[in-house]
Structure 1
Amino acid sequence: MPRMNSIMERWVQSCRRELLDRCLLWNEHHLRHALREYERFYNQHRAHQALDQAAPLRVVPDLIKDPGRITALDIRRRDRLGGVLHEYSHAA
C-alpha cells in the first residue's frame, strides 16, 4: 500500500528524531519499553499538525478566548522515559 508506506516512514522518522536520537538503549527489552512509551505518547499526548494540534486519541478541548482565564491557566508537565518525552496538561 503506497499510502501506508508514507505514514510509517513519517512515524519512524518522528520516533527516531524524538526518541532514539536522545537516549541510550541497553538491550532489546529496554528498546521495546521505550517504543511502547513513545507509541502511547504519540497517540495520546503529542500534538499533530494535521489534527489542528490535537492528539489522535484525545478529544480536542474548547478554545479559551477570555484573557483572564488564559493568564490563570495552571499547566503541569509530566516527564516520561526519564525526561526524554514531556506531557503537558491543565491542572484540575
Structure 2
Amino acid sequence: MSASSVRRILRRHRLDPAPRRGGPSWTQFLRAQAGGLLATDFFTVETVGLTRLYVLFVVEIERRTVHLAGITAHPTGAWVTQQARNLLMDLDDRVHRFRFLIRDRDTKFTAAFDAVFAAAGMEVVKIPPRAPKANAYAERWARTVRHECLDWTLIWNKQQLHRVLTDYLEHYTGHGHTGR
C-alpha cells in the first residue's frame, strides 16, 4: 500500500497521522541489538571423490566474526550438540553478551542443541519455514565463502577443507570483512 493511499484513508476517517516518536531510528535499533545476536547454519561442500561434507558455522552479527564450528560427512543431532558445547567453550567469558541464536528448522538442530544455548542464557529463534532471508547473515556468509574461496578450490577431504576454511577465515577477518 502506498503512502498516499494511507494518507487518503486516514483523512477519510478524520484521523491524524501518528506523531513522530523520539528514540532510536530503525538502523540504530538494529545495531544496538546486533551485539547480542548469533546466527548459525550449514552449507555443504562436495569433494573430488563426491563425498558431501557438511560445514557448521556461527556468525557473530555485530562483529561479523565467523566461527567454524565443525565439519563432518555425517551430521547427527549428537554431533551438532557437541559442536555447540565446543563453541560456547571457545566464546568463554564473551558468551554472556549474546541473547539470541538465529537458526533454521533443520532437523539436525535438536532440542538438545537448543538446550545448550538455553543453559548459557540465550534464546533460540527459529526462522520461518522456507525463509532463508530471515537468517540473512548466515546465508550471506555461506554465499561469500563459496564465491570467494570454495568455487575456486578442489577439495579432496575433510582435513583439506578445514585448512582451506581456516585460512579463508584468517583472510576474511583480516581484510575488513568484520565490523559494521
Which bracket does the TM-score occupy, shorter chain normalised?
0.3 to 0.5
Which TM-score applies when normalising by structure 2?
0.25
More strand by share: 2
